[in-house]
Structure formats: structure tokens, C-alpha cells
């Protein structure tokens, strides 16, 4: 199955982060302290530029200042001067989501990361870490209003079976079928269909897509 397109909003302005530019920014805890209303930490270059600030505007650190941390050593930086010292290494959107999946989940990258977790060529250790993170994410979600045993699985199984048959017989417009599949899987999760059932459907769909690629 083709990777879902990333539609991730900037944590500050809410506009979609560009997928082709290599200047997506990663904010740190001091940015979050100064801007408590932001959601996540992936930010566009425009917002970072527009909200420049100094750590010691009057010669001493402002109250509550959280020291910048070196992303390679994990140690506090010795001389953080301004907002630029509180940014991680920038990159393209897909690379930032893959490098910082926990941050990306909070900004709407769940579908993309679930797709990555099913990739055959993803290294075993990376797949294990990603699946563990997704399990943690699922366990933290509020329980759906309808309990699992109240979900009409016959309805969902019939819908998914029909979609898989369409995928298997498709010769054109495969992308449209992929989008349809993704929408049904998302709706099933939101309706409270057990995760194991949804996972089985995803595996079945992936097998069909693999056959098309062959």
C-alpha cells in the first residue's frame, strides 16, 4: 500500500507544513514554555523567524528559562543565546516525522506512522520501537463510547471484504482504492472496532497491493 500523504499542521500557525522543503523546524521545551498554546513541536520556518527571542535580554536568563540541550550528546548547551539555539536540526517533513515519531503523532501523523510500521524493509529494531510507541499511543486514547462488543463487526467485515475485492480486481485507479481503504480503516478505528481486527484487514490489503506491484 502506498504511503499516505502527510498533512501535518504547523504547531504554531496551523498551516500545512510543506512536504518538499528541507527547513521544517523542531522546537524544544523552552519554545513550549514560552508559547504554551502550541500543539506539538514541528514548526514552519516562517513562524520560527517571526517569533525570534533572546534567552538573556537583560544580561541574565529570563525566569523559568529551560536550557537548550545538544541533540547529539543530550547535555545542556553551555551558551544558549537566542531562539535559534533552541531548535533541532531541520529537515524535510517525512524525515522529521520518521526521526521524531512521538512528536509527529501529536500533530496528526498517525496514519503515516502506522503505514511505516507495516513496511517489510523497516529494520526490526526500528519497527519494534515504532510499534511500541503506537501501542502506547492507543492505550492513552479515550475509550470509544461504544464498547468493542457493541460494534457491529458483521457490518464492518462486509464493508472491508467488498473493498478488498475491489482492490484485487482493480487494474486502474489503484490510488483511489487505496484512499478508500485508508478512509474505511480510519472510520473503523474511530467506531471502536478492535485493533486486532483492523490490523488483520490492513495486512490483507497490503497483500493485495503487493500482488499489484509484482
Residue 134 to residues 64, 73, 91, 137, 141, Cα–Cα distance (Å): 32, 26, 23, 5, 11
pLDDT of residue 46: 97
Residue of 182, 195, 123, 200 whose CA lies nearest to 1: 182
Stretch (H or E) spanning 25: strand 25-26
Closest CA to 107 of 33, 202, 27: 27
User: Which residue, among 41, 50, 53, 51, has the nearest Cα to 17 in the 3D structure?
Assistant: 41
User: 64: burial class by Cβ within 10 Å (0-12, 13-18, 19+)?
Assistant: exposed
Alpha carbon distances (Å) from 30 to 50, 67, 84, 174, 182: 16, 7, 11, 45, 36
| Residue whose C-alpha cell is 528559562 | 65
Digits of tens for pLDDT over the chain (214 positions)?
Answer: 577 889 999 999 999 999 999 999 999 999 999 999 998 999 999 999 999 999 999 989 999 999 999 988 888 888 899 999 999 999 999 999 999 999 999 999 999 999 999 888 889 899 999 999 998 988 887 655 544 556 677 777 777 767 666 666 655 555 666 677 777 877 887 777 777 677 667 766 666 555 555 4
- Integer angstrom CA distances of residue 189 from 24, 70, 110: 30, 38, 12
pTM: 0.68
Amino acid at each position: 500500500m502506498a504511503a499516505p500523504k502527510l498533512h501535518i499542521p504547523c504547531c504554531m500557525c496551523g498551516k500545512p507544513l510543506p512536504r518538499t522543503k528541507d527547513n521544517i523546524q523542531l522546537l524544544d521545551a523552552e519554545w513550549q514554555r514560552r508559547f504554551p498554546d502550541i500543539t506539538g513541536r514541528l514548526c514552519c520556518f516562517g513562524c520560527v523567524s517571526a517569533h525570534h527571542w533572546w534567552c538573556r535580554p537583560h544580561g541574565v536568563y529570563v525566569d523559568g528559562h529551560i536550557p537548550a540541550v545538544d541533540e547529539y550528546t543530550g547535555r545542556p548547551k553551555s551558551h544558549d543565546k537566542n531562539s535559534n539555539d533552541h531548535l533541532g536540526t531541520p529537515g524535510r517533513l517525512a524525515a522529521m516525522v520518521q526521526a521524531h515519531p512521538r512528536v509527529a503523532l501529536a500533530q496528526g501523523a498517525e496514519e503515516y506512522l502506522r503505514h511505516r510500521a507495516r513496511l517489510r524493509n523497516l529494520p526490526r529494531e526500528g519497527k519494534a520501537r515504532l510499534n511500541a510507541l503506537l501501542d502506547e499511543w492507543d492505550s492513552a486514547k479515550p475509550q470509544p463510547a461504544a464498547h468493542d462488543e457493541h460494534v457491529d463487526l458483521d457490518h464492518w467485515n462486509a464493508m472491508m471484504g467488498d473493498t478488498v475485492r475491489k482492490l484485487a480486481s482493480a487494474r486502474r485507479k489503484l490510488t483511489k482504492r487505496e484512499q478508500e481503504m485508508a478512509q474505511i480503516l480510519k472510520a473503523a478505528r474511530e467506531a471502536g472496532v478492535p485493533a486486532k481486527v483492523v490490523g488483520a484487514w490492513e495486512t490483507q490489503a497490503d497483500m493485495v497491493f503487493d500482488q499489484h506491484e509484482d
